[in-house]
Amino acid sequence: MDAITMVNVSKEFRRYKKREGFLGTFQNFFNREYEAISAVTDMNISIKRGEIVGLLGPNGAGKTTIIKMLSGLLYPSSGDIKVLQYNPFKKEEAFKKKISIVLGQKQQLWWDIPAIESFRLNKEIYEIEDEKYKDILNTLVDMLNIKDLINVPVRNLSLGERMKCELVAALLHTPEVLYLDEPTIGLDMIAQKKIRDFIKEYNKRFNATIILTSHYIEDIEKLCERTIFINNGKKYYDGSLDDFLNLYAKDCILNIEYLSKDNDFKFDVYGDIVKEKENLCRLKVPKDQVDNIKQELIRHQFINSITVNQLDSADIIRNSFEKERKEI
């Protein structure tokens, strides 16, 4: 059963056009002009219960706009959205108790008081029964190992510790749908891994449906079996990350070790030199020409060995963003 559906959803914003010069500024007082900016166009998405889905795209692609529409914070200009069979924009109490959103660059915890006080406030807001509150609080605190942190003023916590507490605050009412917008932004590698492990464990325990946006490719690789790529407000891929990388990886890297080469020999005849140092050359070549180029190179006696590596995942994704932006 689908937890989330978006059918032909579009969102436009009106932007004020400012005229130049003094005369233009004067005219703006009496006759303002606006232009329509398309943030999301004809978006069709369906997500099943219990799925963890990654939403990837460059800045301004429309990721946060989609999350805000799914949570009822923004109305679509057209199309239909259903989350757990609710219309998000009606903001029904039952619906609001079944979803939660975590924005990595914003916080809901009160800065000057311990996190536990914010937890108690959320308990009242979501009308959580005393026994249930104690049980879920203990469960989440144990999962994140923050028992010693919840009584410390939030301002005295590190960024990673604050994010753990933010997650507890967002999950006290055990939402069925969770939106995570850049949950690991600014965190070090250790803190990122702990947050990822927690998200995965929460998904298993509560069968929660999770939409995750992140600029850290490792978040997507470790958590999401399915990834949706968008650019300029349009979806251009929906499937596994591995299939995406195979589809868009047009080049490979040849690692060429050599003893000493002829003075007139040029590696750049065969591809783009990524790096050349001492007796090693890294050469980027078209994927469909790897075998032929290897055969050509190995004929030279000074070539010692050749190994093949795929491009870095982040490079492939960045190249796809640039390609799709040109085509749209």
CA atoms within 13 A on the CB side of 76: 24
State how far the Cα of 283 lies from the Cα of 154, in Å rounded to an integer. Answer: 49
**33 has pLDDT over 80:** no
What are 171's two structure tokens? 């999950």
State how far the Cα of 125 lies from the Cα of 130, in Å rounded to an integer. Answer: 13
Positive/negative CA dihedral, 296, 299, 301, 306: positive
- For the chain, the structural domain boundaries read 2-245, 250-310
Contact assessment for residue 184 and residue 192, using Cβ atoms and an 8 Å cutoff: yes
pLDDT of amino acid 179: 95
Q: Residue 77: pLDDT band by 50, 70, 90 thresholds?
A: very high
State how far the Cα of 183 lies from the Cα of 193, in Å rounded to an integer. Answer: 11
pLDDT of amino acid 325: 62
pLDDT one-digit tens code per residue, 79-118: 999 999 999 998 899 999 999 998 877 788 898 999 999 9
Is 2-245 in CATH node 3.40.50.300? yes
State how far the Cα of 278 lies from the Cα of 90, in Å rounded to an integer. Answer: 66
Helix (H, G, I), strand (E, B) or coil at 93: helix
pLDDT one-digit tens code per residue, 113-151: 999 999 999 999 999 999 999 999 999 999 988 999 999
Over the chain, what is the mean pLDDT?
88
Q: Residue 49: pLDDT band by 50, 70, 90 thresholds?
A: very high
pLDDT one-digit tens code per residue, 271-314: 889 888 888 889 999 888 889 989 888 888 888 899 998 888 88
Q: Residue 70: pLDDT band by 50, 70, 90 thresholds?
A: very high
**11 has pLDDT over 70:** yes
pLDDT one-digit tens code per residue, 200-224: 999 999 999 999 998 888 899 999 9
